[in-house]
């Protein structure tokens, strides 16, 4: 019978875990494209949030921040928004979910189009192990998709 040293066994386990984590990188991000300018998409995004009663917490202009340190970045704006009636129960179930709330929607220019990107709530449920929580993930997913598509002009 072969013996495996604890070092080799631990190393193999670490490699397997790192490989599994690498497989998850990039998953859970939803995306819609728009042929309109980022400014027009932003106007529609703000209207979509307002129409749905979402609270716009803030907007982070990453490209403006890059300019302040003499770097350049295509127009990139992140909007943080939410509905405390939905987000609070999610955080009550798992407090660590506050790392990913409020919801975020990213607008960024990419080769003549505007990309609208956001985290899939099913991914967040997986990430934060929300299986034991009774949460309206389908409704949240539909709402986010609707907001993105309205912002895109679809």
Q: Which of 1-10, 89-98, 119-128 has the lowest mean pLDDT?
A: 1-10
- pLDDT confidence of residue 3: 55
The closest alpha carbon to 82, from 64, 62, 55, belongs to 55
Paired with 104 in beta bridges are 80
Asked if the structure places residue 139 within a domain, the reply is: yes
Share of the chain above pLDDT 90, in %: 73
Structural domain span for residue 77: 29-152
The domain total for the chain is 1
- pLDDT confidence of residue 12: 42
Asked if the structure places residue 138 within a domain, the reply is: yes
Across the range 107-122, mean pLDDT stands at 96
Q: Where are the alpha helices (DSSP H) in the chain?
A: 6-24, 38-51, 62-68, 84-93, 121-127, 137-152
Asked if the structure places residue 77 within a domain, the reply is: yes
Share of the chain above pLDDT 70, in %: 83
Asked if the structure places residue 13 within a domain, the reply is: no
Q: What is the pLDDT of residues 67-92, one digit of tens each?
A: 999 999 999 999 999 999 989 998 99
Q: At what angle do helices 38-51 and 137-152 cross, to 10 degrees?
A: 140
Asked if the structure places residue 8 within a domain, the reply is: no
User: Which pLDDT band, with edges at 50, 70 and 90, does 25 fall under?
Assistant: very low
- pLDDT confidence of residue 10: 42
Asked if the structure places residue 80 within a domain, the reply is: yes
Q: What is the pLDDT of residues 44-73, one digit of tens each?
A: 999 999 999 999 999 999 999 999 999 999
Asked if the structure places residue 68 within a domain, the reply is: yes
Asked if the structure places residue 2 within a domain, the reply is: no
User: What CATH number has the domain bearing residue 80?
Assistant: 3.30.310.70
């Amino acid at each position: 019978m072969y013996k495996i040293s604890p070092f080799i066994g631990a190393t193999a386990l670490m490699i397997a875990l790192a490989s599994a984590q690498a497989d998850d990188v990039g998953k859970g991000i939803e995306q819609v494209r728009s042929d309109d300018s980022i400014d027009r998409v932003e106007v529609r995004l703000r209207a979509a949030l307002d129409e749905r009663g979402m609270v716009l917490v803030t907007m982070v202009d990453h490209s403006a921040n890059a300019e302040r340190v003499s770097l350049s970045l295509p127009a990139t704006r992140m909007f943080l928004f939410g509905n405390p009636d939905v987000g609070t129960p999610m955080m009550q179930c798992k407090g660590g979910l506050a790392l990913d709330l409020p919801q975020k929607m990213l607008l960024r220019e990419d080769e003549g189009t505007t990309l609208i990107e956001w985290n899939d709530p099913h991914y967040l449920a997986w990430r934060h192990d929300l299986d034991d929580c009774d949460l309206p993930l389908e409704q949240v997913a539909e709402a986010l998709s609707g907001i993105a598509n309205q912002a895109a002009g679809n």
